[in-house]
Amino acid sequence: MSISRSDVEHVAKLARIHLSESEKEYYAEQLSAIFGYIDQLNEVDTTQVEGTVQVTGLSNIAREDTVVECSQDVVQDIQNQFPQKSCDLLQVKQILSDT
């Protein structure tokens, strides 16, 4: 599969990454080579290979969420240490943007 310079420009625009003209050419060549290797892998017969999702045997251990009551003094102490608050709410920096 061949990736064109305009494909690289499109992806860079979506990712909001500025690329120089030489970088656009470089990444077009590199991505074309990568997709070429993927095409080679697609030719391998894997019909006898069992699908795997997790090979290490590890699993997530989840615990029940429990509410632990604490005194109003402890709550007040935590709120007093927090740099930004509004009424009884603790304010944190925004991590998601609508832009």
pLDDT digit string (tens) for 11-25? 999 999 999 999 999
pLDDT digit string (tens) for 52-78? 887 888 888 888 989 989 999 998 898
* pLDDT tops 70 at residue 99: no
Q: Where are the beta strands (DSSP E) in 47-93?
A: 85-86, 89-90
Burial 69-99 (b: 16+ CB within 10 A, else e): eeeeeeeeeeeeeeeeeeeeeeeeeeeeeee
CA gap 93, 57 in Å, rounded: 37
Token pair recorded at residue 55:
């090979």
Instruction: Supply the mean pLDDT for the chain.
Output: 89
